[in-house]
Each structure stands twice: as C-alpha cells, then as structure tokens.
Structure 1
Amino acid sequence: MALNLSNIKKAYFDKLFLVQNDTTATATTTSVSSNNSTPPSKIKPRVLLLDKYTTPIISMCYTQSELLANNIILIELLQNYHDLSSMKHLDCIIYIKPCQESVNDLRQELHNPHYGQYKLFLNNCIHKNQLESIAEADEYEVITKVIEIFQDYQIVNDNLYLVDTISSKQDVNPVLSESEKLISLLLALKKNPIIRYESNSIDLKRLSSELLYQINSNSNNNLFDDLNRYSDSPPLLLLLDRKNDPITPLITPWTYQSMIHEFLTIEKNIVHMTSDESSTNSNNSGNKNSQIIVSDENDPFYKESMYLNYGDLTDKFQKYVEKYKSETKQSSIDNLKTTNLSELKKILTKFPEFKKFSTNVLTHLNLISEIDKQITIQDLWDIGELQQAIACGLDNQQNLKERVLLVLNNTTNSNKRVSTINKIKLILLYSYRYNTPNDVSLFLQKLNDPTLTQPLPSSSQIQLIKRFKTLFGSNSIIDQQKLQNQNQNQGLTNIFANKKIDLNNLFNRNNPSHTVSDNIYLQYTPRLNEILAGLINPQPQSHQDGSLGLATLVPDKVKQQYGVHASDESVQDIIIYIKGGVTYEESRLIYELSESNKRINLIIGGDGILNSEMWLQKLYSMVTKFSDEPGHSHRASEDSHINRQTQLRDIL
C-alpha cells in the first residue's frame, strides 16, 4: 500500500460529508465507497461545527466549493456556542479534536443544542472518561453517531504533512501531544512501524519512548493489530532533529514551491501578496493585499511545476502562456460572428474555462515575477552560487574565504550591496564547514563596519555567528564523514575556480552537455539524503546504526509478527518526521527518491515548514536561551569546549 496522503484526505472527506445508506457507525479509517452514499442533491442542508484545531485541517484539505457541493451551507466555531443561532431544521456535523478544551465546549452546546441531529467526528482517539462526559451532557439525545477518524495533522502535499504546534489550554506535556498527533498519522496510514531516532537528541529520545508506549498501549485496544498484515517488511518511522542539520534551511532554494516559500512565505497553502508584489495584476491595483492559493490539488500547472528548477520553470511558464494565447485567440470575439450555431455554442461554453485559465496564468505570472524580482534585488545569482560552493566544498578554503570577503566588502562583480541577512547566512555556512575562528572574527569585523553593512547586525545575530560552530558543528557522524570526504576530494572538485559561468545554460536540461548534477545551484543535497541511502541500502545492522547515528525501538506487535530481528529487515515504507521543522526542498528530495525507486514509499513531515527567515529566528531564540542560562555567560577556557558542547546539546 503506497503512502499517499491524498488518498487519506479523500477517504475522510467521504466519511465526514457523504451520507451513508447504512446507518451503522463504526470507528474505522476505511474509505467509504461513494456507491453506498446518498446523492448530494437529496441531502438536506447541514451545518459544520469545528474547533480551532480542526479548522486549519479542513481549510487545507477541502475547498468551500467541495463543502457546498455536499450541502454544507454554514461553518461555525464550537467555541462560539453562546453566540450560535438556533436552527433546529438543520442537522449538524461536529468535527473536533478530543482534547478537554473542545470536549467542554461540546458539553455546553449539548446542554442547549442549536440544531436538530448531531454527528460527532473526532480527529484522534478519545478517552473513555471523555466519552462518558459527552454522553452525560447529551440529555436531549441529539447525537446520532460518534466516529473516530485519524486526522490530527495537516496535509500539505501528497508526500508532505504538518504537525501543528497549536497547544491546548490543558496541555501540560507537549511531548504527549506531539506523540498523539503522530499516532493519528500512523493509524490513518495503517502502519505499525519500527521507530528509529537520532540517538544524540534528547527531545527525540523522549518522543520515541512516548510513541512506543502509546503504540503498545493502543495495541491492547486492537488499534494497531494487524496493521502490517499485507507488508512483507515492517514500516519505519524515522525521527530526525533539525538541530542535526542546521544548514539545509539556510541555503537559498531554486525550485518553484521552495522559492515561493522562501521569498513570499506559504502559510496553510496561502500566499499573501501586497499590492506592489501583485502589481502585474491590473484587476488588483486597488487592493492593498491579495491572497493566492497554491495547491497541487486544484492547479495542474502548479502540480506539474512545483519541483522544477527556476530555469525549467520559466520555460514551462512561457509555453503555458503561449497555449493560453493560442486557445483564447481561437475563441476571440471575431470568432463569435460565425453563423454555425453549434460552433457558437461550443465557444460560449468555453468562456468560464478560459476565465479560469486566465486567472491561473495571472496568478503564476505574479508569483514568478516576484521570485525574479527577489533574485535580482538580492543578487542571488552570485550569492546562491557561493552558498553552494561553500556547502559542497566546490572550491578550496582560501578561495572561498576571499569570495566571502568580496561580498562583505561589497566588491563583487555585480557591485551590489548584499543584504545583512545574506551576509550572515554566508558566514554561518562558512563557519559550519571550516573550523577557523580567525576567519570568523575577520568576517565579524567587516560585518560590524557601518560603511559596509546596513543595517548593522543585531546582538542576537552576532552571538549566533560566534556560537554557531559550538552549537551545531559536526553534531552527527554523517556530517563528520561528509565533511571529511569533501575535504579529501577538494582538489578534484575544484573545477569551478576561475571559470566564467554561463547563467543562460545553467538550468537547460535539454542541453546534452548538461545533466542535473551540472547545475551549480542544485549541487547541495540535504543531509536526509545520506540517511535514507543508508536505510534503503542497509549495511549489517551493527554497522548501520553506528554509521547513521540512529537508535531503534521495536513495538511488541512488530516483534510478534516479524521476530526479534525485525529491525534487520529491508525497508519499503518510510515515514519521516523532522522535529524543529521540515523544508520544501526535503519534500522535493522525497518526491524524487520515490519517483526513481518505485519499490520505496516515502512521506515526510515536521512541526513546521521552514524558510531561511523562520529558521534564523529559531536560531536567535536558541542562542538567547543559552545566553540566559546561569553559568554559561563567561567561558574562556579552551579545555572546556567539549563539556560546553555537551551541555549545549542537553539544553537544546
């Protein structure tokens, strides 16, 4: 069974909104066949009651048109129960998270029900005492169904999910809340996995232990029984810590979805653009802000282009525009003068379709124009190439140092003043790769020069640069091995030095002399790639866990099904969770790995979707938190470096 989040989304839409002819309620995740459902035209209008946890889930998964097509005419928040209008002629679908906060609101609504009959859907497992309290409050017996479905997460793409960090007022254990959301995902996917986590992360050790406990506990309720019965090998839940790869979010991305998020920010599949950014849209010239929905579900061009690099994207968009011009020309006003009524009818029926086509072209024109504008303003053709060279060791250290100094001195070929943030990113990348404090001190001196840098870096930014190597340098075995290999091969890979690069050909995949690996802007691959390579093509177990830095936990049911050596099995289904945030570039990596190896099923998610600005803000907070810890403000002894790094890891 493929790991496809869109299939889950479709199954739960049917379960929530299609009226079944069979009225038996069962707590199951099985998709409901539309053949057993009542046609929407025969369903009377209904109200949908949500809480603050399920509202973003519904808004990201389903459009207003889809809800209206299934006679959902009104959507309200359950927490506003005291302000609801009484409409007894309407039935109600309640979809909430079974936390105490929402259960209390539901009890209040049941004491004074505003609607006719209620169907209660819960997006995760409900405790017995909560169910009993709901039953006690239902004195009018208006609830006709109570159904658990497992959707305590947000679906972004087919292969990308988001575990939201919204916390309940009653949450006292964030690890428990986080694990419950991941349990919900596992139950939706019908997977009982082996758990592997990075052994140097205290946060992941706590999370994995809680997950193992919940899986084994829920097995007593038969929730995880026989979930792997159709699998020859056990699935794998891979838990990673963002702090072990602080580099990936800092590097400028060059593929469509990633660039939109980097320059404009995607929030719940919505991009907010100001009037300046959307000025190419003449219809919006009077609006201060506009919203653009970017979803692969309802936008074929976006679905086909989201993983394309910038060069391929612009080529594809140009062809898209030409197609639009061609089709609209065929249906122009002049063609309406035809005397053939059937042809006239055909042209007129296509007008709404052309309007949609036109809007979509304009949407992507606005997005691509803003991306192009940011690339030019930030001088990213030069800065992005230097980022790749530093991260991948494409030049020797002395040359890279001189190139960074050129940027800090504003003496690059473009003669543009590089932004403070982009200068900071370059210094962080350099300090992570090379253990040369003197170079970093020189960079800081240049960065703090008001004649070279405006605005000057803040105290948090300066502290981050000073402590970045201590906080994150060589945190993992994989990073140490990767840097060692790159340093050994530096003489062989120094092929870009003193060569002028033709930017027009960098992205041209149609050029037979260029391959994907020739693209200077896509040289870097996230650390996740090395980890997955080790899991998909494993070494003997004792060597594998040591080389990947992973610890393993095996649930009881998995041991019973696959034996005590279950973790030695080859892996086919991998569910990845990155604590601290995932990037769209890692989602692209998952997509490309899945496309190149159909035997492997991969999905990825995290507790946030990062761009460089978001990640830098998190880094500033980490440094500030560390600085505020008692006893850590004055440490000058070089001998205390190792102990200090260990203490930092414990804090983080």
Structure 2
Amino acid sequence: MNLISGIKLYIEKMCSESGPGMKIILLDKDTTSIISMAFSQSDMLQREVYLFELLDSVRSNERLKYLKCIVFVRPTKQNIQFLANELRNPRYSAYYIYFSNIIPRTDIKYLAECDESESVREVKELYADYLCVNPNLFSLNIPHCMANLNWLPDALTRSMQGTTAVLLSLKLNPVIRYRAGSQAAQLLAKMIYDQITKESTLFDFRSNVDGAAPPLLLVLDRRDDPVTPLLHQWTYQAMVHELLQIRNNRVDLSGRPNVPKDFKELVLSGDQEDFYGNNMYANYGEIGSTIKQLMEEFQRKANDHKKVESIADMKNFIESYPQFKKMSGTVQKHLCVIGELSTISNKRNLFEISELEQEMACKAEHSAQLQRIKKLIADDRVTIEDALKLVCLYALRYERHANCDTSSLLQIIKTRGGCPQIVPALIEYAGTHVRQGDLFNMVRITDAVKLTRNLIKGLKGVENVFTQHTPLLKETLEDVFKGRELDPVYPAINSELVPFRRPPQEVIVFIIGGATYEEALAVHQLNNAGYKIILGGTTIHNSQSFINEVLTATNGIQFKHTKSMIKYCSTDNL
C-alpha cells in the first residue's frame, strides 16, 4: 500500500494514453498540488508535457492545434462549467479528460453536448483525489473542518470524497468503524458507507480469500487526542513542520534572515530525494550527524574532482559531475534547514520547554510541574506561543485535579500580553467531557520506562532530545492488530462485513481534525514491523495550525466547562 506509487501510476496513465507528441495539461488548484507532490516539473517534461495551465485562468483565444490537451481536475460544478466553456471553443487538437473522483453521469452528458467539434478523445475517472505526503500518509488540505463544533458542510463532503478516492485507488472495500461518541466520526463514516453502497460496482474488486478478514477503515476524531499536536517534535520531518512549516512538501524560507537566495523555497519530498526519504524520521541529533557525514563525503569528492590530470580523469569528472552537483545541492539545502532549526531551537529554549512538555504528557507530578511552568511562562525569553502551549498541556492534564491552578497561569499569560482564550477553547474542544477513555493513562510508558535524557553525540550543539511520548493512535492500532474486541469503542457502520474474528491485514485511518507527523512516524514504525497501514487526515497539523483549528471550531459557542477561566481571558473572542 503505497499512495505515491498509486498517484504516479494514474499520472503515467494520463500521459501515455494521449500518445506521443507535445502536450499541455489543464489543472485546477487542487490537482496542481496533487501532481506536484508526486512528480517534479522535469518528470512531466520527460513525458512530453510542456505547458501547465489552470482551468479557471484567463487565457488567450489563440488556437494551438499542434498540442494535445490533458485535463485533470476535480469533478466540481465550477470545473464542469469551465470545462464546458473550453469545449465550446476548443483551442487544442484533442482533449483527454480525467476526473480525480466519481463524476455524475448528468455532468458527462452535459460535457458531451458542449463538445460539438468532437475534440474529446477520452473521459475517465482516476481516483487521485488526495495529497500523497508520504507513501503511507495523505492529507486533504482542509485547515478548518468544524464550526460550532459541527462539521462544515463542504469539509464533510470533501472528506468523504477524498477518503473514498483513497479506498478506490488502493482497491479496498473495507469494514468501516468510527469512534463511538463522536458525532463527526459517525456522520463521516455513514457518508462513506452510503457512497460505497451507491457505487457498489466500483467497489466490487476484492473478495476475501481463505477466510481473511476484510480491510478496515477507522474514522477517528482529533478531539480524542489533543496532546500530540501540541508537543514539540524532534524528528526531522516533524521538526521542520513545527518550526518552519511544510506546505505541499515545500518550505518557505523567504522570511528567514541569512538564507541564500537559491534556498528561499525548498522542496522536501522523500520520493524525489533519497537523502530526505532515508532521514525524515531520524531525530534531531541523528540527522545532524548524518548531514555532517554527507558533508565530509562531499568534501572528499570535491577534492577528488580537483585532481584532473589525464584524459581518463577528465572523462570520469564529466560522467560524475551531474551526481556531484546534485550532491552539492543536497548538502547545501539540508545544512540550510538544519541551521535554521538549530537557531530557532536555541533562541526559544526549546530543549527545556520540550522536556517539560514530555513530562506533563507522560507522568503526573502536579506541584513540581506547576512551579516549573510558572517560572518558564513568566520568562521573557520564552515566546508567548510556547508559553501558551505549556498552559494548554497543563490544563488538559490537570483539568480535574483538586489543586488545578490554570487560572493563575492564564493571568500570567494575560500580563504578558498573550491571548489566553485558546485554553478554555481547547477544554471545550477536547476536555475530559469529550474524550473517550483516559488519554493520560500512560502507565505503559512511565512505569515501564523511566523518562531519561538521551544524549545525542556526534554534532556540536545537539543536546537533550525527548521522544518519550507515544500518540494514542499507536495504542489504538496495536489493539486492532492484536484482534481485541472493537465494537464498544469503535462500532461498525457495515456490520454485515464483520463475521471475522481475525484482525485485518490492511488498515486505513482517517483523523477528523487533522493528523500529525508524530502519528505518521508511529504508522511508519508499525509498517516496518510488517503491518499495512495508511494514515490520513483533513490536514497535517503543527501546534500553531492545531490551535487555529480549535479556535475556529469553538468560535461563537457558549463555554460550559471552563467558567472559572473566563475572567482571565479576553471576552472579545469568547
């Protein structure tokens, strides 16, 4: 189960079916991102695609009959209308139309009526309606999926369509389970089931062999685990997203001082770059050491290239120069990224902050942790954003503690000019009245394995790295693969497919409210152990995007569970 391979096969199919010759591709904003995350522009050039245009852009009426046109768009009403206008006045010799998801027959009929010149050669559905971030991770780029703690209608529809496309591209007809008690999860699961039932012929591609259990689609709710997105991350991909932000596999460094002009925007794709693909899950210290080794290897090869003394040396230099240049770019790019990460971590005192975050997530020591939080959040060297995250974690951890003192922490935040309304909003969004089970029942971590400081050697400046926290998702998946009873906590929508007692061999997880790179790491580790898991979410969160999601989801609602905090918060946003 490799999402990137699936998307690539679809793109290859589009390019090959149109035959040889120069081609243009018409895209919408969503499919532009879908293609760019799977293929580079040079990859597309190799497939004779020389021009890229947006379907909704204003274009000249110049006819380019020497070009074939590949159309790859989402089957939205707006795109159908744009495409109809194009077909009424065709500018290219032939059109090969591919929709990224299921399209109603009425829309196909409408397009056929508009194609009076009969320039359309092909119309097909290719189920590439999601962003493949990693081979086992997808996103739908929905930054906010709730308002008043209910689904936004467009986000709900998009989530159903994206998840259905994943199932179709992987050829899976799964048992659908959802988190009990989550109306959002139940509603999405029901919509996906209804779509599968409606399009039953599309899903008639796999039968159970030798009594094997059917695959599983598990619909989860971010509100069950609000801790994971708040924690600072120390693995490479997650750390870059937390401190620099990754958008569609790109990192924008244009606002960072001392970054060379050529590195203002960087592409970080594990599929397009071996070094990043091999090291995206490495921790901060390991990636630093690996880059150091890469740099030393580059310096050695650079010295070898200086020794051009014979015809044979010249020939070897010319043959190896492209690889040498590529290695040079890799070294410079990742030195630039790790340098920015190091600068930010030291400036914001993230080692000490992260240590406290991990301790609060993994063990209960109320008095000691409260004093440390008060000291840190009052320190001007600690950013107000980091201070707020610490208070959020404290409020979640000790919401029902007899001596919970969230109010005094909010007063410190307010004194510093911060916006403390995120804390009561977070409790309304994901407090104990919402979560199923005990999120902080972390005996499996803290009693069995005491928190220790992992001293990472090999790179100056890398100190204590904490990676003790395990996301709730990992425990959930372990229960699934151990064959434990799921019905009470994760009831099935299509119970007729659940006579099997064996655990599923393939699992798709979709998290409403966004997944995280820490959860992607947990999925990667389980896949390396022999399981088959795909993780997806409405978006991929870092702490700031998660906080924004919480504020949007709770905007305008009456806070019922945090009355004691209200007087410490700005009333404008409550």
* Same fold (TM > 0.5): yes
Q: Is this contact kept in 2: 1:212–1:555, CA < 8 A?
A: no
Residues 32-71 of structure 1, C-alpha deviations (whole Å, 9 max, x = no match): xxxxxx7xxxx21111111233121112121110111111
- Alignment correspondent of 1:296: 270
- Report % sequence identity: 29
Q: Is this contact kept in 2: 1:47–1:74, CA < 8 A?
A: yes
Matched, 1:427 2:407: no
- Alignment correspondent of 1:207: 188
- Alignment correspondent of 1:650: none
- The correspondence for 2:279, drawn from 298, 305, 327, is 305
TM superposition shift of 1:128: 1.0
SS in 2 for 1:483: coil
Residues 339-362 of structure 1, C-alpha deviations (whole Å, 9 max, x = no match): 3x1221111232232222111111
- Alignment correspondent of 2:549: 618
Q: Is this contact kept in 1: 2:361–2:440, CA < 8 A?
A: no
Q: Is this contact kept in 1: 2:396–2:427, CA < 8 A?
A: yes
Amino acid aligned to 2:10: Y
- Alignment correspondent of 2:571: none
The alpha-carbon distance between structure 1 residues 444 and 494, as it changes in their structure 2 partners (threshold 3 A), is farther
Matched, 1:442 2:440: no
- The correspondence for 2:506, drawn from 555, 563, 573, is 573
- The correspondence for 1:342, drawn from 312, 317, 320, is 312
Residues 376-398 of structure 1, C-alpha deviations (whole Å, 9 max, x = no match): 011011100000001100x6221
The alpha-carbon distance between structure 1 residues 635 and 132, as it changes in their structure 2 partners (threshold 3 A), is same
- The correspondence for 1:506, drawn from 418, 432, 455, is 455
TM superposition shift of 1:217: 1.2
TM superposition shift of 1:418: 1.0
Matched, 1:465 2:398: no
Matched, 1:588 2:530: no
Residues 484-518 of structure 1, C-alpha deviations (whole Å, 9 max, x = no match): 464x997x57966xxxx86xx523599xxxxxxxx
TM superposition shift of 1:477: 6.6
- The correspondence for 1:193, drawn from 158, 169, 174, is 174
Residues 105-143 of structure 1, C-alpha deviations (whole Å, 9 max, x = no match): 111111110010111111111111111111111110001
CA–CA distance in structure 1, aligned partners of residues 436 and 54 of structure 2: 47
SS in 1 for 2:219: strand
Amino acid aligned to 2:545: M
- Alignment correspondent of 1:131: 108
Report which stretch shifted further, 462-471 or 210-219: 462-471
TM superposition shift of 1:83: 3.0
- Of structures 1 and 2, the one with the larger relative CO (CA 8 A, separation 6+) is 2
SS in 1 for 2:370: helix
Q: Is this contact kept in 2: 1:271–1:293, CA < 8 A?
A: yes
Q: Is this contact kept in 1: 2:251–2:265, CA < 8 A?
A: yes
Structure having the higher helix fraction is 1
Normalising by the residue count of structure 2, what TM-score does the alignment of the two structures yield? 0.90
Amino acid aligned to 2:422: L
TM superposition shift of 1:522: 0.6
- The correspondence for 1:240, drawn from 210, 213, 220, is 220
- The correspondence for 1:380, drawn from 350, 358, 383, is 350
Matched, 1:92 2:40: no
SS in 2 for 1:116: strand
- Alignment correspondent of 1:319: 293
The alpha-carbon distance between structure 1 residues 354 and 633, as it changes in their structure 2 partners (threshold 3 A), is closer
Q: Is this contact kept in 2: 1:577–1:606, CA < 8 A?
A: yes
SS in 2 for 1:94: strand
CA–CA distance in structure 1, aligned partners of residues 207 and 465 of structure 2: 43
- Alignment correspondent of 2:203: 224
Matched, 1:369 2:339: yes
- The correspondence for 1:602, drawn from 516, 533, 536, is 533
Amino acid aligned to 2:72: Y
Residues 147-198 of structure 1, C-alpha deviations (whole Å, 9 max, x = no match): 111111111111111123399xxx9654333212211111100000001111
SS in 1 for 2:421: helix
Amino acid aligned to 2:466: Y
SS in 2 for 1:417: coil
Normalising by the residue count of structure 1, what TM-score does the alignment of the two structures yield? 0.79
CA–CA distance in structure 1, aligned partners of residues 321 and 65 of structure 2: 41
TM superposition shift of 1:479: 4.3
Amino acid aligned to 1:17: C
- Alignment correspondent of 1:527: 472
SS in 2 for 1:271: strand
Amino acid aligned to 1:240: L
Q: Is this contact kept in 2: 1:236–1:574, CA < 8 A?
A: yes
SS in 1 for 2:440: helix
The alpha-carbon distance between structure 1 residues 272 and 636, as it changes in their structure 2 partners (threshold 3 A), is closer
- The correspondence for 1:110, drawn from 87, 90, 112, is 87
CA–CA distance in structure 2, aligned partners of residues 226 and 495 of structure 1: 48
> How many residue pairs were aligned?
551
Amino acid aligned to 1:300: D
TM superposition shift of 1:251: 0.3
SS in 1 for 2:368: helix
SS in 1 for 2:238: helix
CA–CA distance in structure 2, aligned partners of residues 484 and 71 of structure 1: 56
TM superposition shift of 1:569: 3.0
CA–CA distance in structure 2, aligned partners of residues 84 and 309 of structure 1: 53
Q: Is this contact kept in 1: 2:425–2:551, CA < 8 A?
A: no
Unaligned runs of 5+ in 1: 21-37, 411-415, 511-518, 638-652
Unaligned runs of 5+ in 2: 145-151, 566-574
SS in 1 for 2:123: strand
- Alignment correspondent of 1:408: 377
CA–CA distance in structure 1, aligned partners of residues 216 and 449 of structure 2: 38
Amino acid aligned to 2:34: I
- Alignment correspondent of 1:16: 14
Q: Is this contact kept in 1: 2:182–2:221, CA < 8 A?
A: yes
CA–CA distance in structure 1, aligned partners of residues 40 and 342 of structure 2: 30
Q: Is this contact kept in 1: 2:223–2:435, CA < 8 A?
A: no
TM superposition shift of 1:403: 1.4
